[in-house]
Amino acid sequence: MHGAFFRFEGQAMVIKPNEGPCYRCMFSEPPPPGSVPSCQEAGVLGALAGVIGLIQATETLKLILGIGEPLVGKLIIFNALEMGFRKVKVPKDKNCPICGENPAIKKLIDYELFCSARGKEEK
């Protein structure tokens, strides 16, 4: 399950292994250090977290109960200023290093170490 929010916009998608794209298919590389401000720096509408959380909870229940059409391979984007939703198809990347035809990444990295190393680059 993917959920994120920033300022007045949020998004959610179901990531279901072997049935749709993985997180790496959507975001092949992390953004460069310092290019994305934190919610503390840029702000986020508090109620937006509730809206995205509700979508994630609903999608989880749909998966558990085996009902409806989960957001597998579909990213839903909510704009709180316009009170509108958009749905975008996210294709599976056949060259994805995680779930593609020839996966190259087979284990997790130490993200704490990775993030601290990236933090040092910013200084």
- The model carries a pTM of 0.78
- In this structure, what CATH number is given to the domain that contains residue 39? 3.40.50.720
DSSP string, 82-120: TTEEEEEE----TT-TTTSSS----S---HHHHHHHHHH
Query: What count of Cα atoms within 13 Å lies in the side-chain half-sphere of residue 117?
Result: 6
Query: What pLDDT score does 117 carry?
Result: 56
Q: Please report whether residue 110 resides in a domain.
A: no
Long-range own/partner contacts, residues 104-112 (CB < 8 A, 24 or more apart): 105/24
Q: Give the position of tokens 């290093």.
A: 97
pLDDT at 120: 53
Residue of 119 and 10 predicted with greater confidence? 10
Residue 97 lies in a domain: no
Which is catalytic among the residues 22, 39, 96, 115? 39
Q: Is 10 helix (H, G, I), strand (E, B) or coil?
A: strand
Catalytic residue at 25?
no
Q: For the chain, give me the number of helices (H) and strands (E)?
A: 4, 4
64 occurs within a structural domain: yes
Q: Is residue 68 part of a domain?
A: yes
Number of domains observed in the structure of the chain: 1
Please report whether residue 48 resides in a domain.
yes
Inside any domain, residue 104: no
- CA 51, chain centre distance (Å): 15
Containing structural domain, residue 43: 2-92
Residue 100 has pLDDT above 60, yes or no: yes
pLDDT category at 57 given cuts 50, 70, 90 is very high
In a domain, 9, yes or no: yes
Per-residue pLDDT tens for 59-94? 999 999 999 999 999 999 999 999 999 999 999 999
- Asked whether residue 40 is assigned to any structural domain, the reply reads yes
User: Other CB atoms closer than 10 Å to residue 108's CB: what's the count?
Assistant: 6
State the pLDDT at residue 35: 80
